[in-house]
Amino acid sequence: MRKNAFRLPSLYPSQPRRDTRRAFTQTQKNEALARQKNKCAKCHKPLDLRATRFHHKVSWASGGRTITKNEVALCSKCHDIVTHAQRLKKVDKKRRTKTDVLGLPKTKLPKGYL
């Protein structure tokens, strides 16, 4: 999208408004590394820069901003664990909020089930 382009208000207010930029800048990355003394925020092992992931604490997809306050440096192993757990939580939340007219959860069994 063009920078400073005029944006209409979202037609889907339930959709979080995303930051236009997803990737952290090199300066932001350096800041996180300095703050964490080059250690993973989860396992506290020294970070190998080739396998360092800069993670949004509040995910970018759900409206988390690309700012240092929302940034954390993780080793790729911990990042995989964290993102997987977040994804599961999101799926679980979606599943719980989908209810029918009686307020009962809408569960659709996969094809070929039973």
Q: How far is CA 16 from CA 13, 63, 65, in A?
A: 7, 5, 11
**Are the CB atoms for 78 and 54 separated by under 8 Å?**
no
Please state, in angstroms and rounded to a whole number, the distance separating the CA atoms of residues 23 and 17: 16
Please state, in angstroms and rounded to a whole number, the distance separating the CA atoms of residues 81 and 79: 5
- Compute the least distance from the CB of residue 31 to Zn ion, in Å: 19
32 touches Zn ion by CB under 5 A = no
Among 43, 51, 85, 88, binds Zn ion (CB under 5 A): 43
Q: For Zn ion, which stretch binds (CB under 5 A), given 21-29, 30-38, 68-76, 81-89?
A: 68-76
**Region of residue 38 (phi > 0: left; psi between -120 and 50: alpha; otherwise: beta):** left
- Compute the least distance from the CB of residue 109 to Zn ion, in Å: 38
- Compute the least distance from the CB of residue 45 to Zn ion, in Å: 6
42 touches Zn ion by CB under 5 A = yes
40 touches Zn ion by CB under 5 A = yes
78 touches Zn ion by CB under 5 A = yes
**Are the CB atoms for 30 and 54 separated by under 8 Å?**
no
39 touches Zn ion by CB under 5 A = no
What is the binding site for Zn ion (CB under 5 A)?
40, 42-43, 75, 78
